[in-house]
Amino acid sequence: MKNLIIPILLIFIISCTTEEVYVDVFDPVQDEIDSLNQRQTDLSLIFSYLESVGINYADSISAGVYYSITDYGNEQLYPEINDIVSIHLAGYYTNDSIFFTNDSIDLVIFDTNIQSLAESIGYYDESKYYSPITYTYNGLGSFFPVVSDHGYLAQLSDFKTTLGLTLSKISEGGSVKILMPSGNAYGDTGNTNTPEIPENSILIFDINLIKIRKWMRSVL
């Protein structure tokens, strides 16, 4: 009887130790290919969006963020280093679900400090404080405030660089559109903090330079 029990136990033990184990190994080559493919997808969407809203020209910074000047403003008062500037902002991301539609591209609004816009599209939140974003302009955006509902902008370095550049090209009352491929924003991880951004989302910002307060330079 003992001779029969031992082989059965051995078979049981062996069968329990033959489970397959899968290890997820990072492949840098495949990761690079995936990144390039995603960027091509992003650029195709960006150009389709620009065409859908009637914009036939856009420039880009070296990092690959696109922008288009939609209004040059009054062409009298331009921002200079250390001026205090105030801006209105509306931020959208591309998504399959329709929240705010611009013809061929479906966009979801995730941030705005314009109360009238928020109310008109059902995005208004009475717990939020709707007012212009005001900060010290230094040409690069590095003084951008880490405050309130818009603090996340201070962490988007390519956004700040593009904002600083584009504001130098317009005057008070002017407007720009900034278009960030997903690789320049939150990439394939998205953002789980506020505001929540899905993975591989293109970010589009409409910026209006509503006020410039000139820095009082001392005269020696």
Average pLDDT in the chain: 82
Which run of H or E residues covers position 32?
helix 28-52
Rounded to the nearest angstrom, the gap between the alpha carbon of residue 111 and the centroid of all alpha carbons in its chain is 10
CA-to-CA separations, 72 to 15, 17, 132, in angstroms, rounded: 74, 71, 19
46 in a domain, yes or no?
A: yes
Name the residue range of residue 144's domain.
30-213
pLDDT over threshold 70, residue 15 = no
Nearest to 181 by CA among 31, 46, 77, 19: 46
Amino acid at 121: I
Asked if 112 and 89 touch (Cβ cutoff 8 Å), the reply is yes
12 in a domain, yes or no?
A: no
pLDDT of residue 94: 84
pLDDT over threshold 80, residue 214 = yes
d(Cα 154, Cα 216) in Å, to the nearest integer? 26
pLDDT over threshold 60, residue 8 = no
> Which of 36-40, 122-126, 210-214 has maximum average pLDDT?
210-214
Band the pLDDT of 127: cuts 50, 70, 90.
confident
Task: Give mean pLDDT, residues 165-173.
Answer: 96
pLDDT of residue 106: 74
15 in a domain, yes or no?
A: no
This prediction has a pTM of 0.80
Which run of H or E residues covers position 160?
helix 157-167
3 in a domain, yes or no?
A: no
The CATH number linked to 149 is 3.10.50.40
pLDDT of residue 174: 98
2 in a domain, yes or no?
A: no
The structural domain count of the chain equals 1
Torsion sign, CA atoms 110, 188, 160, 175: negative
Map residue 2 onto helix, strand or coil: helix
Band the pLDDT of 85: cuts 50, 70, 90.
very high
Asked if 200 and 103 touch (Cβ cutoff 8 Å), the reply is no
> Which of 22-26, 105-109, 145-149, 174-178 has maximum average pLDDT?
174-178
Task: Give mean pLDDT, residues 50-66.
Answer: 91
Task: Give mean pLDDT, residues 163-183.
Answer: 95
* Buried b / exposed e along 159-192 (16+ C-beta atoms within 10 A): bbbbbbbbbeebbbbbbbbbbbbbbbbbbeebbe
220 in a domain, yes or no?
A: no
How buried is residue 79: exposed, middle or buried, by Cβ count under 10 Å (0-12/13-18/19+)?
buried
9 in a domain, yes or no?
A: no
88 in a domain, yes or no?
A: yes
